[in-house]
Amino acid sequence: MQHTFIPTQYFRTIGTHPAALTVNDGDEVAMWCVDAHGIDGNDQTVTPAGNPMSGPIAVNGLVAGDVLAVTITNMHPLRPHGWSYPTLAGNVVDPEYIGAVPYAPGSKLPKEYWDLDTTTGTVQSRGTHGMRVTAPYRPMVGCFGVAPARGEAVSTATSGPHGGNMDVRFFGVGCTVYFPVSVAGGLFFAGDAHFVQGCGEIGGTGVESAMRIDVRLAKAQMERITWPRAEDDDYLYTVGNARPLDQALQHATSEMHRMLIACGADGTSAAVIMSQLIEYHIGNVFDPAYTVVAKIAKSVLRTHGLQSTFR
Amino acid sequence: MQHTFIPTQYFRTIGTHPAALTVNDGDEVAMWCVDAHGIDGNDQTVTPAGNPMSGPIAVNGLVAGDVLAVTITNMHPLRPHGWSYPTLAGNVVDPEYIGAVPYAPGSKLPKEYWDLDTTTGTVQSRGTHGMRVTAPYRPMVGCFGVAPARGEAVSTATSGPHGGNMDVRFFGVGCTVYFPVSVAGGLFFAGDAHFVQGCGEIGGTGVESAMRIDVRLAKAQMERITWPRAEDDDYLYTVGNARPLDQALQHATSEMHRMLIACGADGTSAAVIMSQLIEYHIGNVFDPAYTVVAKIAKSVLRTHGLQSTFR
Amino acid sequence: MQHTFIPTQYFRTIGTHPAALTVNDGDEVAMWCVDAHGIDGNDQTVTPAGNPMSGPIAVNGLVAGDVLAVTITNMHPLRPHGWSYPTLAGNVVDPEYIGAVPYAPGSKLPKEYWDLDTTTGTVQSRGTHGMRVTAPYRPMVGCFGVAPARGEAVSTATSGPHGGNMDVRFFGVGCTVYFPVSVAGGLFFAGDAHFVQGCGEIGGTGVESAMRIDVRLAKAQMERITWPRAEDDDYLYTVGNARPLDQALQHATSEMHRMLIACGADGTSAAVIMSQLIEYHIGNVFDPAYTVVAKIAKSVLRTHGLQSTFR
Amino acid sequence: MQHTFIPTQYFRTIGTHPAALTVNDGDEVAMWCVDAHGIDGNDQTVTPAGNPMSGPIAVNGLVAGDVLAVTITNMHPLRPHGWSYPTLAGNVVDPEYIGAVPYAPGSKLPKEYWDLDTTTGTVQSRGTHGMRVTAPYRPMVGCFGVAPARGEAVSTATSGPHGGNMDVRFFGVGCTVYFPVSVAGGLFFAGDAHFVQGCGEIGGTGVESAMRIDVRLAKAQMERITWPRAEDDDYLYTVGNARPLDQALQHATSEMHRMLIACGADGTSAAVIMSQLIEYHIGNVFDPAYTVVAKIAKSVLRTHGLQSTFR
């Protein structure tokens, strides 16, 4: 079944808030989302800044211990432009190099606007701050996830086992992301869409815009997970959210070992495969918790007779 | 000019040791290298384990402040097999997950052998520990660099501004790596070749083998650099070596900003480009210093009218 | 005015929950608190484990931007024994040393019980796990703080700018802790008392017991603060909560510089004083966020003509 | 036997350099040391800056695997003044607070001079940069250690298992520091003395001066150690040198567990004692490797019937 979800209220925490919409297992929802500053498709600020979320959406039948599969089926811009900060964050450069970065960390930052050109599939900065820059249009969801355990309501500035502000470039159209369910119905939130973003979100922003995010929400055929996982046509992914990056990587690596065992490998084989064939990706190094993604090509799993999809 | 360099002595530090060979700017050298355990192409242990280096090779005319360009022109296996450890390192998984990893960290580890199949371009583990695993043959140089400043002699277990044990998968045939020269002649060392390696070298090894590494050594047309840089056909790279990963990333990001300015960008434009178009790669998370690589596609630089090569 | 507060409900998050008690500025409250596992003074489990909090207590007149001064006037044991885990946490030892630690990280841990001897002022372990160990009775509050901003409800397993599970040994009788107020009334929570604790809470516990914690709650005469501060007879303190320790230390150090300026120092003098006279203390290295405390002796401040108390 | 050692050559690496003096087990040496900038007691720059070391001193009979006990018997100022930088290092404050620190990180720093007043036992800054500041005269050795293994020559800017630039305030008169010997004779170096220093050396300096450091060098009655240890009248210490602080703490904590077992505790009892009675101290958070010290009071060990000294 198809649902349309246009929020009347936004949340800056992901927590056990009352469901704004309840759907059945496998339903699709078109979610209207404002940008990270609460600005909508008409350039109106409709809610305070700080990654306001659309949601929560409950899925009938989900209980704690289940896994929610969120497939991003489509993303539509609600306005033809986005914005970014023309700087690098203080924490991504050497302390003694901070003075060389444009716009000092902690100062009021100007916005650089970018225009979407759907004919070329690119976004182009207006050049107000620095030169005109062209980047591919690769829309992605910066912040999404499900209500965490023990009644926490976690700021959408950060991330955790429940997902949240992970800012992973791969989390775009065609990707299925798996979240560990902690409360009945799961309670799914989404927002903070980007037209494009570099690895690490090192300027503190992607190209931020209001978008409609179309998702299919279903109970995954997957045993209890500890950290988010994902898949697209080519890869299986696991996600770790923490600081420092070293710990985020430990989470993602442990979860990958668990996932390969779930795919049919014994523990030693999983280690051998990972040693020579794993790849890592840095989601963000800007938020309070950083994000590291581990990935293994599905072709590797198929070659070795292992399960290669959970879809 | 072409040189053949078959060492009679190996070094487990990169430092200001007497040059074993002196060449001219632009010369090529075929360097015979033992594997990480000092085992040669005939399966003979000829020197103690711990990434023994072939070298040092001095390049006439190089002085401190120059940059040495090392182009890997070819890599030849000196034996048709390699080995790896069938485990995951203790520091790459969650502390409470260490008990689930095969072969406890700190214990004596068995070796899993892998055979090279040049017809298919793959390496295949023998399945002594876990299942038979097939991986692509993608030879790379694990440890190489130049003598560091102030008379240091740095263990080849680790890395620093001078290069060293970086274990970056991209550093294979066709790649040019740039090292900051600290002493007259540069004093170049290389070894620790891998048939293949996953990101992070998370088991503590790639598929380790003795190889002939062919390099062209030349003075780069590049101003003084702080950290190693590199390029291949598609990308420009900068490297940071440190722990935690957060600091390695700070080094690589600062160096990328400096490099883009050297390519003709102003500081603000460099930040805007990096924010939306940078990619990160994790070299290793096993050695005392971890390695993070930042990269920008050359096509991005060309699109924006910037210099895109230093070759 | 004196209040007695015996909770009928406990919270495992610190957030904007309805006030269970409202007091006036300067009032004193005797708070009954269960131990970290929700066990009360009669050895009854009355609420689920995980640092259940007593509270929240609202203070009339407090508004966001104010600072709440919490003076611990007394602590009374509600039972004559406590417990600890007889191990070291996996994250506080080298990964390759984890195998040498008693009771593997991640396994079910036994409890070692300790008896309080008020005549000698000591606690003594029963020797069920290892030898009988004697430690001084130095009661302290492990977890306390105020509702955080933006509607967050933060797990009492961790800490942040709002306080939380900091596990600082100095936070005992006679100490005043200052928390940044984010919501009307402040909403103060406390619990997780320890009879004694080593630095770092490296086994994951102090000697955990149910205690009555007596506090005086007042609006501090202090400008807006970013991180908790504290004082006792001898020292002024600032607190940083984050991972890794490096970041927690950055928070505490920045806050100390701000506090010394509030005490009357110019920025350069504050730096000179801190460089030669600061001391650091590690609160915990067990929780998701670690805690570092910076301290400066009040005598140092007096010597230099600076304000040395906010009481 | 008493030796006087006035260097004619200084080293900025700790490595296997030719012994400048050879002594017998138990001998005492009065070592003349320049300050961190190579400036001597007559305010003459006699060698380049960067923690130049006096040494190396070989001790007859020491072999790899032994432990060298260095007892600091006395420290004499070679001039009545020292200097410090009137700033905070960029890496010890929040990135967004760096702009608030006097003298931007990476800029040329002025020196603040301090005068020693032996009648009051204090040092006093001249107030050229900021106010006049008074601190106690507590001389300590910033950088000392022995030649590391595998032929490394490690910069005196940093530290490791061999010791080096640890900047621990406790390492003053009356303290015995234990170093793991890696080469015949041990090869001991010392320098970088401070009149006083705050925890962490957060401005990048203590009060730096040229000093005569008197040491007794002896083979310790101690089994092979992994990291430096120390003792004074009141405490036993273990040291970890690494980044981030988290890893330095892991080293120091693992070494403390090993040391308590060497003192006669079983592994579980050692964990119980450490959990409730360990204290941590931060040596420096300025150098490439940070330093964390773990300590246990000797009185604790005596109370529990454990060995409490290795002197």
Do the chains contact at B279 and A198, CB–CB below 8 Å? yes
Distance (Å) from the C-alpha of residue B8 to the closest C-alpha of chain D? 18
Q: Quick one: C197 and C264 in the same domain?
A: no
How far apart, in Å, are the Cα atoms of A271 and each of A179, A254, A298, B204, C276? 24, 10, 16, 11, 49
The pLDDT of residue A104 is above 90: no
**Out of B86, B198, B272, closest to residue A86 by CB:** B272
Q: Quick one: B147 and B280 in the same domain?
A: no
The pLDDT of residue A193 is above 90: yes
The pLDDT of residue B30 is above 90: yes
| Residue B91 domain-assigned (yes or no) | no
Does residue B166 contact residue B228 with C-beta atoms inside 8 Å?
yes
For residue D107, name the pLDDT band (cuts at 50, 70, 90).
Answer: confident
Distance of CA D47 to the CA centre of its chain: 21
The pLDDT of residue D245 is above 90: yes
Write out chain B residues lying below 8 Å of A296, CB-based.
none
The pLDDT of residue D105 is above 90: no
Do the chains contact at D133 and C272, CB–CB below 8 Å? yes
C98 touching chain B per CB within 8 A: yes
Does residue C166 contact residue C194 with C-beta atoms inside 8 Å?
no
Task: Tell me the pLDDT tens digit for each residue of A248-266.
Answer: 999 999 999 999 999 999 9
Chain C residue at shortest CA distance from D258: C100
pLDDT of A107 reads: 87
**Out of C12, C50, C152, closest to residue A154 by CB:** C152
Does residue D71 contact residue D224 with C-beta atoms inside 8 Å?
no
The pLDDT of residue C112 is above 90: yes
Please give the average per-residue pLDDT across C157-176, as a whole number: 98
Do the chains contact at B15 and D150, CB–CB below 8 Å? no
Q: Where does residue D260 rank: exposed (0-12), middle (13-18), buried (19+ CB within 10 A)? A: buried
CATH number at residue B289: 3.10.28.20
Q: Report CA Rg, chain A.
A: 19
| Cα(C108)–Cα(B225) distance, integer angstroms | 52
| Residue C122 domain-assigned (yes or no) | no
C250 touching chain D per CB within 8 A: yes
Write out chain A residues lying below 8 Å of C150, CB-based.
12-13, 50, 155
For residue A40, name the pLDDT band (cuts at 50, 70, 90).
Answer: very high
Task: Tell me the pLDDT tens digit for each residue of D75-103.
Answer: 999 999 999 999 999 999 999 999 999 99
pLDDT of A106 reads: 82
pLDDT of D21 reads: 98
Distance (Å) from the C-alpha of residue A89 to the closest C-alpha of chain C? 15
Of D199, D219, D239, which residue sits at a domain end? D219
Please give the average per-residue pLDDT across B67-83, as a whole number: 98
C84 touching chain A per CB within 8 A: no
**Out of A90, A107, A246, closest to residue D95 by CB:** A90
Task: Tell me the pLDDT tens digit for each residue of A109-165.
Answer: 999 999 999 999 999 999 999 999 999 999 999 999 999 999 999 999 999 999 999
Q: Quick one: D158 and D47 in the same domain?
A: yes
| Cα(B258)–Cα(B266) distance, integer angstroms | 10
C184 touching chain B per CB within 8 A: no
pLDDT of D104 reads: 86
Write out chain B residues lying below 8 Å of A105, CB-based.
none
| Residue D224 domain-assigned (yes or no) | no
**Out of C13, C242, C244, closest to residue A152 by CB:** C13
| Cα(A157)–Cα(A165) distance, integer angstroms | 6
Chain D residue at shortest CA distance from B51: D150
Range of the domain at C275: 229-303
* CA angle in degrees (0–180, nearest 5) for A142-A144-A145: 150
Q: Quick one: A46 and A188 in the same domain?
A: yes
For residue C107, name the pLDDT band (cuts at 50, 70, 90).
Answer: confident
Q: Render the burial of D37-68: b for 16+ CB within 10 Å, e for the rest.
A: bbbbbeeeeebeebbbbbbbbbbeebeeebbb
**Out of B15, B243, B246, closest to residue D153 by CB:** B15
Write out chain D residues lying below 8 Å of B246, CB-based.
244
Q: Quick one: C174 and C274 in the same domain?
A: no
Write out chain D residues lying below 8 Å of A285, CB-based.
none
C155 touching chain A per CB within 8 A: yes
| Residue C103 domain-assigned (yes or no) | no
Q: Please, which chains are in contact with D (at least 3 CB pairs closer than 8 A)?
A: A, B, C
Q: Quick one: A149 and A35 in the same domain?
A: yes
Among A141-145, B103-107, C74-78, C307-311, the minimum mean pLDDT is found in B103-107
Q: Quick one: A77 and A189 in the same domain?
A: yes
φ, ψ at D61 (rounded to 5°):
95, -15
Distance (Å) from the C-alpha of residue D268 to the closest C-alpha of chain C? 5
Task: Tell me the pLDDT tens digit for each residue of D155-210.
Answer: 999 999 999 999 999 999 999 999 999 999 999 999 999 999 999 999 999 999 99
Does residue D31 contact residue D212 with C-beta atoms inside 8 Å?
yes
The pLDDT of residue B105 is above 90: no
| Residue D311 domain-assigned (yes or no) | no
Handedness of CA D46, D50, D51, D56 (dihedral sign): negative
Does residue C162 contact residue C179 with C-beta atoms inside 8 Å?
yes
**Out of D112, D280, D303, closest to residue C200 by CB:** D280
Write out chain B residues lying below 8 Å of A125, CB-based.
272
Neighbours of A303 (CB within 10 A): 16
| Residue C272 domain-assigned (yes or no) | yes
CATH number at residue C65: 2.60.120.580
Distance (Å) from the C-alpha of residue B301 to the closest C-alpha of chain A? 10
Please give the average per-residue pLDDT across D217-238, as a whole number: 97
Task: Tell me the pLDDT tens digit for each residue of B258-268.
Answer: 999 999 999 99
Best to test chain D binding among C132, C194, C259, C272 (most D CBs inside 10 Å): C272
Distance (Å) from the C-alpha of residue D275 to the closest C-alpha of chain C? 5
Cα first-last separation, chain A: 18
Please give the average per-residue pLDDT across C250-271, as a whole number: 98
Of B152, B186, B219, which residue sits at a domain end? B219
**Out of B95, B107, B244, closest to residue C95 by CB:** B95
| Cα(C245)–Cα(A243) distance, integer angstroms | 10
Q: Please, which chains are in contact with C (at least 3 CB pairs closer than 8 A)?
A: A, B, D
Please give the average per-residue pLDDT across B151-159, as a whole number: 98
B61 touching chain C per CB within 8 A: no
Q: Quick one: A211 and A254 in the same domain?
A: no
pLDDT of B261 reads: 98
| Residue B119 domain-assigned (yes or no) | no
Q: What is the mean pLDDT of chain B?
A: 97
The pLDDT of residue A105 is above 90: no
Task: Tell me the pLDDT tens digit for each residue of C195-247.
Answer: 999 999 999 999 999 999 999 999 999 999 999 999 999 999 999 999 999 99
Q: Quick one: D284 and D169 in the same domain?
A: no
Write out chain A residues lying below 8 Å of B199, CB-based.
278-280
Task: Identify the DSSP state of C97.
Answer: G
Q: Helices marked H in D127-169 — which ranges?
A: none
**Structural domains of chain C, count:** 2
Do the chains contact at D257 and C88, CB–CB below 8 Å? yes
For residue B70, name the pLDDT band (cuts at 50, 70, 90).
Answer: very high
Q: Quick one: D67 and D146 in the same domain?
A: yes
pLDDT of A112 reads: 98
A&D contacts, CB < 8 Å: 38
B residues 1..30 contacting D (CB < 8 A): 11-13, 15
Q: Quick one: A24 and A165 in the same domain?
A: yes
Do the chains contact at C91 and B95, CB–CB below 8 Å? yes
**Out of D11, D12, D152, closest to residue B155 by CB:** D152
For residue C300, name the pLDDT band (cuts at 50, 70, 90).
Answer: very high
pLDDT of C105 reads: 85
pLDDT of C52 reads: 98
The pLDDT of residue B104 is above 90: no
Do the chains contact at C50 and A12, CB–CB below 8 Å? no
| Residue C195 domain-assigned (yes or no) | yes
Of A163, A191, A219, which residue sits at a domain end? A219
Do the chains contact at D285 and C198, CB–CB below 8 Å? no
**Out of D203, D251, D275, closest to residue C202 by CB:** D275
SS3 B88: coil
C244 touching chain A per CB within 8 A: yes
Q: At a CB cut-off of 8 Å and minimum separation 6, what does A164 contact?
A: A14, A143, A144, A145, A154, A156, A158, A241, A289
Q: Quick one: B163 and B35 in the same domain?
A: yes
A245 touching chain C per CB within 8 A: no
